[in-house]
Structure 1
């Protein structure tokens, strides 16, 4: 079971107002102190108790699969929508600006099933198969929350040269954040090295980018952010991703 810690107003647990453009929560600004709420994303379970597959998720009500094929550099957010919030926005906008390909899976707020990355496989989705057959390099965008890592971005995945390239660009655009691109320093469960993980399927593999809540705009720092654009930190991250795609030479 995946665990994401989010900061919420004490006493209410609410994130009352939402951005009208991309449907993401922003902070209601009513309360002055905060606590951590643990949000547990359940493994999808069928009526028999067996773990459900990626194809079952795609067939569920309210789940939306998105795929746009452009260049051979791609961005993915297959834990998007209300599961790992804003990851699909980041991947989609970066892909549009860079002329890159994009694949996303968006879940509604009443579902939030976490399918492990190594079980997100092309044999369960024609659109995913088309995407992975088209791109040769990919960045998969994920969200995580872990005590002590609230301003830390983790760059896993099999393409370590790309991780170093992206890491340098993120440091330029977001100097207040810690960027870990040394695979040995990333927690083992967040390294993204399984051979079946979509980040490692294209010819040149890619980077699994794990984002803490703050850089996705889910922080008291942005409780009064009106939009309609993503929060300033999110915009700077997108700038770094666009630069990465446009300057990468393989």
Structure 2
């Protein structure tokens, strides 16, 4: 039997930029989030694919118009949004996907956010299934701007907080296409599945 789901969209204007929010609700306590779809290429696509494979709820923010702008995650939470409020109310643990361009760490997947136990679960799955990349969970080894610890960051607004996954360019795109490599899709998918099992 197919997993029941419901999809809604919302347009949101913030600091002159227009965002389209797409929420697909499924009966799972886990949620995938991508706040910078298009700006951080491949993150929205990865969130949607992992959510579909695991039966998780998914919320993506995309900007249909160019030039696209990067707005800090905690500022996105300050804009009035029914869709984000719904996501926070129905999800207990969030996995938020972002992109980084740190030349000193081209293969590092940084796992921040306030739920450190969940970060370790995701990291273990990535170590097994994503050998081309190195998951980093020690907050002292994660650049301050990528730690995802701001209390108003949407990744931390759900009941159990969440994990902010910062992916290098090659972990979320293939060539000029915003298509994540299959090993990354598989690694994040397995991590989300393990998180779901641990909450049963």
TM range (shorter): 0.7 to 0.9
Normalising by structure 1, we get a TM-score of 0.68
1:97-144 Cα offsets, whole Å, 9 max, x none, are 111111111123613211101112165110000111111100000011
Tell me the residue number matched to 1:85. Answer: 41
Matched, 1:138 2:88: no
1:50 corresponds in structure 2 to none
- 1:1-250 counterparts in 2 under 5 A? 55-57=12-14, 60=17, 63-70=19-26, 71-80=28-37, 82-108=38-64, 110-121=66-77, 124-218=80-174, 222=175, 230-249=180-199
* Deviation (angstroms), 1:69: 1.6
Question: Matches of 1:179 and 1:119 in 2, distance apart?
Answer: 27
Q: Deviations over 1:51-72 (max 9, x none)?
A: xxx94249855x4210112112
Partner of 1:39: none
Q: CA deviation at 1:243?
A: 2.8
The whole-number CA distance in structure 2 between the counterparts of 1:211 and 1:86 is 10
Alpha-carbon distance in 2 for matches of 1:66, 1:207: 20
Q: Moved runs in structure 1, 4+ residues, more than 2 A?
A: 54-61, 229-250
Query: Relative to structure 1, is the Cα distance of residues 230 and 129 closer, same or farther in structure 2, using a 3 angstrom cutoff?
Result: same
Q: CA deviation at 1:238?
A: 4.0
Q: Secondary structure at the match of 2:123?
A: helix
Contact (CA 8 Å) 2:17, 2:68: kept in 1 or not?
Answer: no
Q: Which has the larger radius of gyration?
A: 1
Residues 154 and 109 of structure 1, relative CA distance in 2, 3 Å threshold: farther
Secondary structure at the aligned position of 1:175 is classed as: coil
Q: Is the 8 A contact 2:129 2:186 kept in 1?
A: yes
Inter-CA distance 178–94: structure 2 relative to 1 (3 Å threshold):
same
CA RMSD of aligned residues (A): 2.5
